[in-house]
């Protein structure tokens, strides 16, 4: 049993991820109170020792730390912003693991400060199956003293926890950027599978080669990061003019089969914009600098 068995934690939100979080706290020996807007989500957790609170205000009053995991900040604001819940939270800490934008995290932190509530923001970067295991990855931002105070409880969730700094929006900023990579890649993979199928190549046939493409990306990411931070965009070996040509081939093949090529047309358009600005000999990642320009 965990050495923090005398500690307590509350979990608001019992969707699949929230149930996994509550289960990990229970497994670590923490006194765990749970609540969900829709009844009927917690019986299995109660059988394992969780305390089902009759209301959100009762739930947050039961613990020094409340962990929130709901669909978005509209949902979390609707729960936390109720007068009874806000009053019960005074002097306590909220660790919000709900995914949303950096701006929403900053707004909620301001609300918490006005009401004497400690506030940490965070994001879960790995699937439900990793919670409570060494494979879990969590990122956090907010006051260092609050993070250190509640780190023993957060450690019950397993895996790696990284505090990204006191600026409350940093965890959400990382989350948005990393999800941008993930969903853009998944959209590209879905499109590639559609094009391949139209050309008579099955998804299973393509998959081993797709893994090969994935394997070459990490060092490319590292090199691109260095170029963006240094402002040096070497196109040696693969200038953006070459990339634009490849993209045009993908667009042509896709549309010849009646497959929407909007995503690739957008990417090609960004590349053509860079070329039009006189950066045709630079590498593809020059796009990041151009996209970041204002005006």
Q: pLDDT tens digits for 33-90?
A: 999 998 888 899 999 999 999 999 999 999 999 999 999 999 999 999 999 999 999 9
Residues 6 or more apart from 11 whose CB is under 8 A from it?
18, 21, 22, 25, 32, 33, 34, 35, 66, 67, 68, 69
Contact 142, 164 (CB under 8 A): no
93-96 β-sheet, strand order: 51-52, 31-35, 8-12, 65-68, 93-96, 118-124, 137-141, 160-163
Relative to beta strand 65-68, strand 93-96 is: parallel
Q: pLDDT tens digits for 181-206?
A: 999 999 999 999 999 999 999 999 99
Residues 6 or more apart from 223 whose CB is under 8 A from it?
none
Domains of the chain, start order = 8-167 (3.40.50.720), 202-291 (1.10.1040.10)
How far is 268 from 250, CA to CA, in rounded Å? 10
- Would you place residue 18 in the very low, low, confident or very high pLDDT band (cuts 50, 70, 90)? very high
Residues 6 or more apart from 154 whose CB is under 8 A from it?
95, 138, 140, 161
How far is 165 from 172, CA to CA, in rounded Å? 12
How far is 240 from 99, CA to CA, in rounded Å? 34
pLDDT at 6: 44
Contact 70, 12 (CB under 8 A): yes
Contact 72, 79 (CB under 8 A): no
pLDDT at 41: 86
Q: pLDDT tens digits for 101-131?
A: 999 999 999 999 999 999 999 999 999 999 9
- Would you place residue 295 in the very low, low, confident or very high pLDDT band (cuts 50, 70, 90)? low
Residues 6 or more apart from 234 whose CB is under 8 A from it?
227, 282, 283
- Would you place residue 5 in the very low, low, confident or very high pLDDT band (cuts 50, 70, 90)? very low
Overall pTM > 0.85: yes
pLDDT at 294: 76
Q: pLDDT tens digits for 257-274?
A: 999 999 999 999 999 999
Report the candidate in 67, 275, 261 with the shortest Cα–Cα distance to residue 151.
Answer: 67
Q: If you average pLDDT over residues 150-163, what whole number do you get? A: 97
Q: If you average pLDDT over residues 141-170, what whole number do you get? A: 97
Q: Percent of the chain, pLDDT > 90?
A: 93
**DSSP bridge pairs for 47:** none
């Amino acid at each position: 049993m965990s050495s923090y068995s005398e500690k307590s934690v509350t979990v608001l939100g019992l969707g699949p991820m929230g149930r996994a979080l509550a289960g990990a706290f229970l497994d670590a020996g923490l006194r765990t109170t749970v609540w969900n807007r829709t009844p009927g989500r917690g019986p299995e957790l109660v059988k394992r020792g969780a305390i089902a609170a009759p209301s959100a205000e009762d739930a947050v009053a039961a613990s020094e730390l409340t962990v929130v995991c709901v669909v978005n900040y509209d949902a979390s604001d609707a729960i936390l912003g109720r007068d009874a819940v806000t009053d019960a939270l005074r002097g306590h800490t909220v660790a919000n693991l709900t995914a949303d934008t950096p701006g929403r995290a900053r707004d909620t932190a301001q609300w918490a400060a006005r009401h004497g509530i400690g506030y940490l923001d965070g994001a879960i970067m790995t699937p439900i199956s990793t919670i409570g295991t060494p494979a879990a990855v969590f990122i956090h931002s907010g006051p260092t003293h609050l993070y250190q105070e509640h780190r023993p409880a957060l450690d019950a969730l397993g895996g790696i926890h990284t505090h990204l700094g006191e600026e409350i929006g940093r965890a959400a900023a990382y989350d948005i950027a990393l999800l941008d990579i993930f969903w853009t890649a998944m959209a590209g993979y879905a499109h590639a599978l559609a094009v391949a199928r139209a050309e008579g190549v099955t998804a299973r046939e393509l998959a081993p080669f797709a893994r090969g493409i994935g394997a070459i990306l990490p060092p490319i990411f590292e090199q691109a990061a260095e170029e963006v931070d240094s402002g040096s965009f070497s196109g040696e070996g693969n200038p953006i003019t070459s990339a634009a040509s490849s993209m045009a081939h993908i667009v042509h093949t896709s549309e010849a089969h009646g497959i929407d090529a909007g995503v690739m047309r957008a990417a090609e358009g960004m590349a053509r914009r860079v070329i039009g600005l006189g950066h045709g000999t630079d590498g593809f990642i020059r796009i990041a600098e151009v996209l970041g320009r204002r005006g």
